Amino acid sequence: MEWCAPPARLWGMGGAPEARTTPSRENEMSEKSYRDAIRDAMMEEMDRDANVLIMGEDIGVYEGTFRITAGMLKKYGPKRVLDTPIAEAGMVGTAVGMAMLGLRPIVEMMTMNFAIVAADQILNHAAKVRYFSGGQVDVPMVVRGPQGAGVQLSAQHSQSFESFYAHFPGIHVVAPATPADAKGLLKTAIRGNDPVIFLESAALYGMKGEVPDDPNFTVPFGQSRVAREGKDVTIVSFSRMLQLSLAVAAKLASDEGIECEVIDLRTLRPLDMDPVYASVTKTHRAVVVQEQWKPFGVAAEIAANITETVFDELDAPVARVTGEDVPMPYARNLELLATPHEPEIERAVRKVLYKT
Amino acid sequence: MPEIIMPKMGDAMTEGKVVKWYKQPGDRVKKGEAVAEIETDKVNLDLEAEADGTLGEQAAKEGDMVPVGGVLAKILGEGEKEEKKDEAPQRRVTDKKDSVKHTTGEYHEAIEQKGPRRDLAQNVVAMPAASEGGRRKSSPLARKMAAEMGVSLEQVQGSGPRGRIVAADIKKTSGAAAASAAEFSRKPAAEAAAAPLETKIIPLTAMRRTIAKRLAESTGPIPHFYLTADFDVTNLAAMRQQLLDISGAKLSLNDFIIRAVALALRHHPNVNASWGDDAITQHGEVHVGVAVATPEGLITPVIRNADQKSVVDIASEVRALADKAKNRKLKPDEYQGSTFTISNLGAWGIEEFTAIINPPNAAILAIGAAESRPVVIDKQIVIRERMKVTMSCDHRIVDGALGAEFLKTLRQYIEQPLRLFV
C-alpha cells in the first residue's frame, strides 16, 4: 500500500539493516541509572531500526529537561531527533501520522502531565486507528515521559496517569519500577506495533540497578513479576511505590518475621493478575500500593479483580495504600504528607494481618 | 446517619452510664474522636465517633443509665438534619432544577422510587454486631476452612474487627493449629501434657446430679470445700533470685506460681472445668485469672494460655494487666474467660486464707506469704522458706481426692522448680 512506503525513502536516508549483528553480551550486566537505561533502550533501538525516531520539547539542543536524550541529537542528527514547538497535540498528531505510514516515533513529554493536551490524539486517534481501519493500519508509537510526585513540581506537574490511560482499550500502559525493566519494557514498546503510554517515575531517574547489556534483552508486556517472595501478606504495586513496598517488606521480615510477597505489575495494560491470584491463594491477604489518588485507581481495579477471582481465599478485605485526595502541594512537608510512605504500607500490612 | 450506641462490653452488661459528654450538639466530630465517656460495671471508656459529622441531639444526660444498644446520639452528615422521631422517613422528590438532565424519564422515576439518598458514609459506619439476624460475620477463607474442617461457625468466637471470624479463629477452634516449635518448647514435657487438651462436654450422670443437688442445697449455690497445703519454696525462691541476678527481669514468686498452676491444670483437666446445669465443661485452654485489688474492688485479669507462656512473658503480662486494672482500663476480654483463679495475699503478710470461687471456675487457689519457718526434715529442725496455699473447690465438679491430686502435682512444680522449664 502506498502509505506504507518504506520510511527510509520517506526521510531520504539510507535504510539501516533491520537487526545489526552485535557481539554477544548475553550474560553481562552493568550498573545503570533508570535514566541511562531509558536512553540506552532508545539508542539501541535507533541503531537497530532506522524507522525509530524521537521528538519532543527541548530534547535536541538542550538534551532534555531530565537529560534523558543527552547526546542523541549529536549521534542521530536533526532528522531523527526532532526539537518540537510547545504543542503536544501537534506532536502526538504528527507521530500518529508517522506511525500510520510505518515510522516508529517516540514522543517525549516533558512531563506526562502535558500529554493531557494531546489526550484526543492519544485516545481518539492512536488508540482507535487499527479498530477503525478494520485492522489494516497500525500505530507503532510510544509516548513516554516522567510522572508522579516527590520532586516538588506542584499540583499540575506531579500527577499520575496510569488509571486514566489504562481505562481505554487500544493502548498499552507501562510503568517500570527498576532500571532493567525500564530498558527491557521500552525496547518492547518501540518494537511493538501498538501505541504505548510509557510512564516513567520522575523520582526514580537517579535510581541505579543492574541492567543486562545484551542488545536483544527485552521484557515482554503482561508479565507481572514476583519481586520478593513471602508467605504472610501479598503487596501489589508498580513503579516507585514498588520500591517503597520492598523496603517495608525487608523491614518487617527482619524486625518481626512478617514475610511479605511483593508483586510488580510492570504493565497495567495488559494486566497480568495470575501471579497476584497465586500469591493471594498462598497468603490470603493483600495490600495494593499506588501513588495516585484512591478513587477509581489501579488499586481499586486490582482489589476488584482479587475479589472476583479468589474471593474464597481472602481472610481480610484487600487494603489500599494511596495518595491523599488533594491536588499535590508544592511545599515539601505537605507533598510528603500527601504521598504514601513506608509507615502507611506497614500499617496496611498489619491491618490485613489483624495486628493493629 | 451513623448512631452512637451504648456498646456491650461483656456478657453480663445490660446497661452503662454516661459519665461525661465531650461533645455538645452541633459540635463537629471527626471519625475516631472521643465523643463521650461511659462507665460499665468494670471499666470506664471513651466512645468514639465512627464517622465525621456534626453531633446531633444527646439522647441521654450525664449520669443517665442507658441500656446496651440504646442510642446516645446521632452523627449528622453534611447538610443533614435530625429526623423527628414521630415522622416516617420522607421520600425525597427530585428537584427538577438541581437534577442532572437525562433524556429518559425512567431515570427520574428510578431515583424517586429509591427514596431519599443515603449518606455514603453510612456504608462504612453502620457496624452491626458480629451476629445479626443469625448471620455470623466471617472472612471468605474462614468460611471455606470451616466447611472443610467441619467446624460450625456458631461455635467460633470471632477475633477480627467487629467480631469477624477469621482463619485464625477457625484454626484455634478446630484444634488443628500446628504447634509451632516455640509453642512446643514452652509446653511441659510431662507425659500427661503430651495428650492434646480439648474442650469436652461430659454429660451429667445421675450420681453426679445428685451430689451436686445435695451439696448445693446444703451450702448455697456453690458448695465449697477447702484444701490447705504447705509448700517448701526454698528452691523456688533461690531460683527466682538467680534469675533476677542474671537477667534483671522483674519476676515475682507469683509469676512462677501462675506457670506452675497452669502446668498442673494440664495434668488435671477435670479441675480446669466449669459447672453447667446439664453438663460439666472441661476447657480446651488454660486461662489463669489473677486477682488484683483496685481501689474500687477486686478484679481478675486473665493470663490466657498461661501453660504456653514463659515465666518472663507471664510476669510482664501480669504487670501490664494489673496497671490497666488499677486505672480501670481493662477490656472485657482481658478480665473474662478465666478457667482457674489465683489470689495471693502474701504481700499483705497473710499466712493463709480461703478464697471464694470465681464462677464459673471450679476452684481458686489462695496463696499466703512465703516465710522462713522452722520445719523438721530428717529429724532435724531446719529453717526453710515455706508457703501455705488453700484451694477452694466446687464440690459439684471437684471431689476431695481430685483436689488433693491437683495440689500434689502443683507441689512437684513448686518444690522442684526446674520442672517449670523442662
The pLDDT of A339-352, averaged and rounded, is 95
A321: domain CATH number is 3.40.50.920
Smallest CA–CA distance, residue B290 to chain A, in Å, is 26
Q: Are B142 and B166 in contact (CB under 8 A)?
A: yes
A285 and A176 assigned to the same domain: no
pLDDT level of residue B331 (50, 70, 90 thresholds)? confident
Residue A219 lies inside a defined structural domain of this protein:
no
**A109 and A229 housed in the same domain:** no
- Over the stretch A231-241, which tens digit does the pLDDT of each residue have? 999 999 999 99
pLDDT band at B197 (very low <50, low <70, confident <90, very high): confident
Which residue's entry shows cell 459519665? B19
Domain boundary among A212, A244, A275: A212
Q: In what order do the strands lie in the sheet with B44-48?
A: B44-48, B34-39, B15-21, B65-67
Is A354's Cβ below 8 Å from some Cβ in B?
yes
A231 touches chain B (CB under 8 A): no
Tell me how far the alpha carbon of residue B328 is from its chain's centroid.
Answer: 15
Chain A residues within an 8 Å CB radius of B160: 316, 354
Per the domain annotation, does A294 fall within a domain?
Answer: yes
* B185 has pLDDT over 50: no
Chain A residue nearest residue B139, CA to CA: A315
CA-to-CA distance for B129 and B165, rounded, in angstroms?
A: 12
**For residue B180, is it within any domain?**
no
Element (H, E) at B267: helix B253-267
Question: B240 and B336: one domain?
Answer: yes
Cβ within 8 Å of residue B291, ≥6 positions away:
B298, B299, B300, B341, B342, B343, B344, B355, B358
Interchain pair B166, A314: CB under 8 A: no
A314 contact residues in B (CB cutoff 8 A): 139-141
- As a whole number, mean pLDDT of residues B275-292 equals 90
CATH of the domain at B395: 3.30.559.10
Please indicate whether, in this complex, the C-beta atoms of B166 and A312 are within 8 angstroms of each other: no
Let me know if residue B220 belongs to a domain.
yes
Q: Is residue A25 part of a domain?
A: no
**Residue A51 covered by a domain:** yes
| For A318, nearest residue in chain B (alpha carbons) | B139
B299 and B346, same domain (yes or no) = yes
Specify whether B11 is located in the same domain as B147: no
Domain boundary residue, one of A177, A212, A247: A212
What is the β-pairing status of strands B288-290 and B131-132?
A: unpaired
Q: What percent of chain B has pLDDT over 90?
A: 29
Comparing A169-183, B70-84, B287-301, the range with the smallest average pLDDT is: B70-84
A141 has a pLDDT exceeding 90: yes
- Residue B181 belongs to some domain of the structure: no
Closest partner CB to A354 (pick from B140, B143, B160): B160
> A192-201, B8-17, B66-75: which has the minimum mean pLDDT?
B8-17
Do both A230 and A203 map to the same domain? no
Q: State whether A207 and A58 are in the same domain.
A: yes
Residue to test with chain A: of B139, B145, B166, most A Cβ within 10 A: B139
pLDDT at A5 (0 to 100): 37
Q: What is the secondary structure of B10-21 as a DSSP string?
A: STT--EEEEEEE
Over its C-alpha atoms, chain B yields an Rg (Å, rounded) of 28
CATH of the domain at B139: 4.10.320.10
| Contacts for A317 with CB less than 8 Å, ≥ 6 apart | A352
User: pLDDT band at residue B175, thresholds of 50, 70 and 90?
Assistant: low
Residue A217 lies in a domain: no
User: Residue A27: what pLDDT?
Assistant: 76
Do A354 and B139 lie within an 8 Å CB cutoff? no
Bigger pLDDT: B128 or B301?
B301
Query: Per the domain annotation, does B351 fall within a domain?
Result: yes
Distance between B394 CA and the closest CA of chain A, angstroms: 38
Which of chain B's residues have a Cβ under 8 Å away from the Cβ of A316?
139, 160, 166
Contact A284/B at CB under 8 A: yes
Residues of A belonging to the active site: 88, 157
Residue A177 and residue A272 in one domain: no
Task: Please report, for residues A40, A67, A208, A212, the alpha-carbon distance to residue A36 in angstroms, rounded to integers and kept in the order given.
Answer: 6, 9, 9, 12
Same domain flag for B244 and B262:
yes
Contacts of A353 in chain B (CB under 8 A): none
Count: domains in chain B = 3
Cβ–Cβ gap B142/A313 under 8 Å: no
Contacts of B167 in chain A (CB under 8 A): 284, 315
Q: What's the pLDDT at B288?
A: 96
Point out the domain boundary residue: A181, A212, A243.
A212
* pLDDT (mean) for A196-224: 96
CB contact under 8 A, B141 and A354: no
Q: Which of residues 332-371 of B touch A (CB under 8 A)?
A: none
B34 in contact with A, Cβ within 8 Å: no
If one compares B247 and B154, the residue with the highest pLDDT of the two is B154
* Domain CATH for B73: 2.40.50.100
**Taking 60 as the threshold, does the pLDDT of residue A111 lie above it?**
yes
Taking alpha carbons only, the member of B320, B349, B362 closest to residue B227 is B362
Beta-strand runs (E) in B176-278: 200-203, 224-232, 273-275
pLDDT in tens, A241-259: 999 999 999 999 999 999 9
Average pLDDT, chain B: 78
Spatial neighbors of B45 by CB under 8 A, at least 6 apart, are B9, B37, B38, B329
Compare B121 and B227 and report the one with higher pLDDT.
Answer: B227
Contact in structure between B236 and B256 (CB atoms under 8 Å): yes
In Å, how far is A351's CA from the nearest CA of chain B?
A: 10
Are residues B57 and B116 part of one domain? yes
Same domain, B104 and B197: no
Report CB contact under 8 Å: B140, A311. yes
pLDDT given at position B151: 79
What's the gap in Å between the CA of A277 and the closest CA on chain B?
Answer: 14
Residue B183 within any structural domain of the chain: no
Listing DSSP states for A137-198 in one string gives: -----EEEEEE-SSS--HHHHS---HHHHHTSTT-EEE---SHHHHHHHHHHHHHSSS-EEE
State residue B216's pLDDT score.
67
Count CB pairs under 8 A between chains A and B.
Answer: 27
Answer whether residue B296 is part of any domain. Answer: yes
pLDDT at B356: 86
**Positive or negative torsion for Cα B326, B327, B328, B334:** negative
Residue of A nearest to B138 (CA): A315
What was the pLDDT predicted at B103? 36
Q: Which is higher by pLDDT, A133 or B176?
A: A133
Q: How far is A340 from chain B (nearest CA, A)?
A: 21
**Within this chain, do residues B113 and B144 fall inside the same structural domain, yes or no?**
no
pLDDT in the model for residue A13: 37
Same domain, B239 and B101: no
A3-52 tens-digit pLDDT: 333 343 333 333 333 444 455 566 789 999 999 999 999 999 999 999 99
Residue A288 has pLDDT above 90, yes or no: yes
Label the pairing between strands A81-83 and A142-147: unpaired
Portion 85-144 of B in contact with A at CB < 8 A: 139-144
| Chain A interface includes B167 (CB < 8 A) | yes
Is residue B196 less than 8 Å (CB to CB) from chain A?
no
pLDDT for B11: 66
Q: Domain span at residue A36?
A: 2-13+32-212
Question: What pLDDT is recorded for position B340?
Answer: 96
What is the nearest CA distance from B405 to chain A, expressed in angstroms?
A: 41
Give the residue among A104, A161, A160, A84 at the shortest CA–CA distance from A340: A160
pLDDT digits (tens, 9 = 90+) for B332-353: 889 889 999 999 998 888 999 9
CB of A311 within 8 Å of any CB in chain B?
A: yes
Residues B192 and B158 in one domain: no
C-beta atoms of B143 and A312 within 8 A: yes
Task: Tell me which chain A residue has its CA closest to the CA of residue B163.
Answer: A354
Say whether both A79 and A198 belong to one domain. Answer: yes
Residue B56 or residue A235, greater confidence: A235
Does residue B106 surpass a pLDDT of 80?
no
Confidence (pLDDT) at B85 = 47
Report if residue B179 sits inside a domain. no
Q: Do B139 and A313 touch (CB under 8 A)?
A: no
Tell me if A170 is assigned to some domain.
yes
Strands (E), B252-346: 273-275, 279-282, 288-290, 292-294, 297-299, 302-303, 340-344
Q: Do A313 and B167 touch (CB under 8 A)?
A: no
For A270-282, how does the pLDDT look when each residue is reduced to its tens digit (9 = 90+)?
Answer: 999 999 999 999 9
The pLDDT assigned to A113 comes to: 96
Preferred mutation among B123, B124, B141, B159 to probe A, highest tally of A CBs within 10 A: B141
Q: Do A44 and A70 share a domain, yes or no?
A: yes
Residues B163, B198, single domain; the answer is no
Residue A20 domain flag: no
- Asked whether the beta carbons of residue B139 and residue A314 sit closer than 8 angstroms, the reply is yes
Instruction: Annotate B203-218 with b (16+ C-beta within 10 A) or e (fewer).
Output: ebeeebeebbeebbee
Q: Are residues B159 and B200 in the same domain?
A: no
Does residue A218 fall inside a structural domain?
A: no
Between helices A34-48 and A179-191, what is the axis angle to 10°? 30
Question: Which range marks the domain in which residue B121 is found?
Answer: 3-81+92-125
Q: What is the pTM of this model?
A: 0.53
Q: List, for residues A55-65, the tens digit of each pLDDT value.
A: 999 999 999 99
- Interface membership of A316 toward B (CB under 8 Å): yes
Tell me the pLDDT band of B42, cut-offs 50, 70 and 90: low
With beta carbons under 8 A apart, name residues in chain A contacting B156: none
A313 vs B contacts (CB less than 8 Å): 140-141, 144
CB contact under 8 A, A316 and B139: yes
Reported as type and span, the H/E element at residue A210 is strand A208-212
Query: Which grid cell sits at B36?
Result: 463521650
DSSP state of A126: I
**Residue B182 counted as domain residue:** no
- Give the cell for residue A80: 531523527
CB spacing of B141 vs A312 below 8 angstroms? yes
Residue A10 has what pLDDT? 36
Shortest alpha-carbon distance between residue A321 and chain B (Å): 17
* Structure confidence at residue B123 (pLDDT): 38
What's the pLDDT at A197?
A: 98
Residues B11 and B70 in one domain: yes
The domain total for chain A is 2
For residue B377, pLDDT over 90 is answered with no
Where is average pLDDT lowest: A151-160, B290-299, B344-353, B368-377?
Answer: B290-299
Question: Catalytic residue numbers of B?
Answer: 395
- Compute the nearest-CA separation of B196 from chain A (Å): 27
- Cα distances (angstroms) measured from residue A227 to each of A26, A255, A263, B214: 22, 20, 5, 70
CB atoms B144 and A312 under 8 Å: yes
Helices (H), chain A: 7-11, 34-48, 72-76, 88-100, 119, 129-132, 154-157, 162-166, 179-191, 239-256, 274-283, 298-310, 332-338, 342-352
